[in-house]
Amino acid sequence: MEQLEYQEGRTEIAHLGKVPLIRRLTTDFPICNPSTLMGVGDDCAVVQPSSESEMLTLITTQTLVEGVNFDMMYTPLRHLGYKSAAIAASNIAAMNGTPRQLLVSIAVSNRYSVEALDELYAGILLCCKRYGIDLVGGNTETARAGMTLTVTAIGEVSRQAITYRRGAALHDLVCCTGDLGSAYAGLLILEREKVTYQANPNFQPDLASYDYVLERFLKPEPRLDIIQLLAEKGIVPTAMTDISKGLADAALHLCEASHCGCEIYEEHLPIDYQTSRVCSEMSSNLIPVSCALNGGDDYELLFTISQKDYDKVKSLTEIHIIGHITEEGMPASLVTPQNTTITLRAQAFQSNQP
């Protein structure tokens, strides 16, 4: 009967922000086990099974909330299942690792039928099969409303290959994979169609010309192909993270952990033509580079490599060299084609993106 005791000096969670909140909550926790190599503060926790073991264990967990991280109006459950598994796998990739096991814990209201959960799990199965991941656990719980999904992935990486967010050094090259901003462009289309549908439920959307950006949003792929490619080419990035909340957010995390700044060249950002087309359709104020910097859900990789690896990377079409690391004290910044330097800020668009 004492639940109201803690209301003195009330601070709103929204006021503090997510990253400072996690820091505040976890700052007092000591690390006491020698097996714990990395706790809170990177894409995964890192555990060494024994002090001699060559392979390290990676663990990541993430919660996705209906109405916050996904909208059931336009998210087929099969896609949601696939995407949940892909997000967890992407966090393992972000440490240069390979996902091996997955646990899925869901809380669902009675609005969902068993057949709906069959669809969700069919999507999870598809992603697991594609990437060789074993579903090894989880549970289902009743929820008062909606659906909350928590995915936990276990992966492995060798001591030689593990890549943290920290580790970028002065003059390292900044690279990213795939293209950026397209998932956000897909979300914009889905939100637009939702509004139209709510106004007129007989409306039949024509989404065919947006197939690429829609797939990017609804069914992202963890870049495990890049992890394999880097291994084949003998490249170990000096630092890495995945791009889940926009390039700006990822670059800021990487620079903060590595105690450095960076310069990213706007004209080198990989942006798909469909992303540009969606932007021009949506608003004269929305430029594609904003989608790349502040959109979310791309699940591409951002990493840095030593200049000595330049020759190995330059011909790889799925890897783009977009900038370089600057010294500590310098900001993470964007250099425009007009040679103006803009300091990056974390301002991921607030929308239905995980």
CB burial string 2-38: b at 16+ within 10 A, e below: eeeeeeeeeeeeeeeeeeeeeeeeeeeeeeeeeeebb
**351 near a second copy (CB under 8 A):** no
Site string for a second copy, 154-193 (x = CB under 8 A): x-x------------------------------------x
Q: Which is nearer to a second copy, 139 or 336 (CB)?
A: 139
Site string for a second copy, 81-110 (x = CB under 8 A): -------------------xx-x-xxxx-x
**68 near a second copy (CB under 8 A):** yes
**146 near a second copy (CB under 8 A):** yes
Q: Could you say which residues in the range 121-140 bind a second copy, by CB under 8 A?
A: 121, 125, 128-129, 132-140
**12 near a second copy (CB under 8 A):** yes
**30 near a second copy (CB under 8 A):** yes
CB burial string 251-290: b at 16+ within 10 A, e below: bbbbbebbebbbbbbbeebbbbebbbebbeeeeeebbbbb
**11 near a second copy (CB under 8 A):** yes
Q: Which is nearer to a second copy, 132 or 281 (CB)?
A: 132
What's the closest the beta carbon of residue 81 comes to a second copy, in angstroms? 10
Measured CA to CA, the distance from residue 129 to residue 138 in angstroms comes to: 18
Piece of the chain touching a second copy by CB under 8 A; list 51-59, 160-168, 235-243, 341-349: 51-59
Q: Which is nearer to a second copy, 195 or 311 (CB)?
A: 195
**257 near a second copy (CB under 8 A):** no
Q: Could you say which residues in the range 195-254 bind a second copy, by CB under 8 A?
A: 197, 205
Is the sign of the CA dihedral 243, 246, 247, 248 positive or negative? negative
What's the closest the beta carbon of residue 327 comes to a second copy, in angstroms? 30
Distances (CA, A) of 266 to 139, 240, 250, 319, 333: 45, 20, 16, 16, 10
Residues contacting 73, CB < 8 A, separation 6+: 194, 197
Q: Which residue(s) pair with 151 in the sheet?
A: 62, 104
Is the sign of the CA dihedral 194, 199, 200, 205 positive or negative? negative
- Contact residue for a second copy among 90, 96, 148, 258 (CB under 8 A): 148
* In contact, 95 and 44? CB cutoff 8 Å: yes
**Both structure tokens of 332:** 């993470």
What's the closest the beta carbon of residue 214 comes to a second copy, in angstroms? 12
